[in-house]
Chain A
């Protein structure tokens, strides 16, 4: 698959704080990427450096094979509306959309109008008077209707209600299948966006802790709940990402596939087996379970440095 963005050993420091720590990754053409992680994990910093709005402390960024800084040829193919995007003082949404149409040759006014009505966005009100959800809608419409080669959505759903969020996911998928392009969706609502994603990149404290195909991540682990002895027997020889016990009932998130034989044995002991959602997997990986668990490969590799970053990248979730 052709990559449109290549990042190598990217580090960003603000004084003593490290926002990005030796990040290496590549973003593929015509793919929906999820950039996941907690608040402060470095998602926005990474996207702002990829779009030359911010500068690396060290490391290199190549977008379409070139340095994006002050490169109109490259920047013109990107759109990155921040979660806290600023707009000119007297702008109404209609002004922001018109301005964007000057810059993006693929600007789709009909799509913009359709989204305006989907989100019930008042286009004739000053942007600074809009609610948080309406402000998010402005950013979503800009990013979608501009239809550049790479669109970055930075927590685009903030303040949107459940219906509006679903509208965004549906429209994005719809437009993406008609006009394939590279999309980077940063989010901390992992399960909500999980179904959209083809590639999952998880940042934690400025490091890449997962970079894998979404399909490989699904089914990477299972949740087992039931008799403590039966769960312990099943978990023997497997990586346990998380374990909680209450009396003689244990709930555990265990990495690895479950064979038919395993399944039958667990069912026989009354142990319930359910797939682990992406969100559960990431949460399990991010808390204590990991540090004790030892090399969790794709899930948590880079905590242990470059070698495991590479392992996480190449190994995916095989």
Chain B
């Protein structure tokens, strides 16, 4: 346990990647959002959901660099792959939770202030009045999925190289498109949309976490044999 928490400390020795960069991106995006709300001459509700999604993208980069840079450094210090993996995913979870809490605070604030007094909204929950838990869960899950997709791709790249990574990514894309085509072919769009709606934000977040668990497990299996 000490070893895993030491990996968390190692990852956060410099708080820039996991904490400051996402916060700066979020702060900047929200600021720009305010300006846009002020400048747009429209009396109805205005939405700038992209502003709160912006810091998520930095998590993709953080996930990639965790494997390409932090992992080799941890190896120099004699950290086992297992401890590195668990500590790194835990770091991502802690910082995702931090971002999710900030997102929730934004959602609650803008609800309380009627969209900052400008009818301007950054959080999805502003749209449909979702419960705070749904706001937290959805944002946490999205942040984790962003981090893990970068981490997962980097693990494949480090172990097998560019060609295999591209093949896997093309394979995943083809599978998604094929699934969509099948849905269209059998005229099942209504059923699919109906299922998605029935899951709700919480249900979809739970499915997202299942996907995240799969990415975590397969990243670890790959990482166990990664060399430099």
Whether A91 is near chain B, meaning CB under 8 Å from some CB there, is yes
> Interface code B75-86, partner A: CB below 8 Å = 1, 0 otherwise?
111111111000
Which A residues lie within 8 Å of B79 (CB)? 75, 103
> How many residues of chain A get a CB closer than 8 Å to chain B's CBs?
35
Binds A, one of B66-74, B122-130, B144-152, B181-189: B66-74
Question: Are A99 and B227 touching (Cβ within 8 A)?
Answer: no
Q: Which of B6, B72, B80 contacts A86 (CB 8 A)?
A: B72
Report yes or no: A90 in contact with B73, Cβ–Cβ below 8 A: no
Q: For residue B225, which residue of chain A has the nearest CB? A: A55
Q: What's the Cα separation between A82 and B228 when bound, in Å?
A: 10
CA distance A170 to B78 in the complex (A): 26
Whether the Cβ atoms of B77 and A90 lie closer than 8 Å is: no
Is the pair B73, A96 in contact by a Cβ cutoff of 8 Å?
yes
Identify A72's interface contact among B9, B10, B13, B80, CB under 8 A.
B80
Q: How far is the CB of B114 from chain A (nearest CB, A)?
A: 39
B76 touching A88, Cβ below 8 Å: no
The secondary-structure label for the interface of chain B is: helix
Asked whether A77 is an interface residue with its Cβ less than 8 Å from the other chain, the reply is yes
Give chain A's interface secondary structure class: loop
Which of A53, A81, A86, A100 is the one whose CB lies under 8 Å from B68? A86
User: Once the chains bind, are A89 and B76 in contact (CB under 8 Å)?
Assistant: no
Tell me the count of chain B residues lying within 8 A, CB to CB, of chain A.
28
Contact status A79-B77, CB under 8 Å = yes
The answer to whether A80 has its CB under 8 Å from any CB of chain B is yes
In the complex, the answer to whether B17 meets A89 with C-beta atoms within 8 Å is yes
Q: With A90-B17, A148-B78 in contact, do A102 and B10 touch (Cβ < 8 Å)?
A: yes
Q: Which residues of A contact B80 (CB under 8 A)?
A: 70-72, 75
Question: How many Å from the CB of A62 to the closest CB on chain B?
Answer: 16
> CB of A285 within 8 A of chain B?
no
Tell yes or no: B65 within 8 A of A by CB.
Answer: yes
Given contacts A82-B228, A90-B16, contact A99 B68 (CB under 8 A): no
A137 at the A/B interface (Cβ < 8 Å)?
no
Q: How far is the CB of B197 from chain A (nearest CB, A)?
A: 41
Nearest A residue (CB) for B18: A90
Q: Are B3 and A72 in contact (CB under 8 A)?
A: yes
In B82-120, the 8 Å CB interface with A consists of 82-83
Sample of 16 further A-B pairs with CB below 8 A, known A71-B80, A87-B73, A88-B69? A48-B227, A55-B227, A70-B224, A72-B3, A78-B78, A79-B76, A80-B75, A82-B228, A86-B69, A86-B72, A87-B69, A88-B70, A89-B65, A92-B14, A99-B9, A142-B76
- Residue ranges of B at the interface with A (Cβ–Cβ < 8 Å): 3, 6, 9-11, 13-14, 16-17, 65, 68-70, 72-73, 75-83, 224-225, 227-228
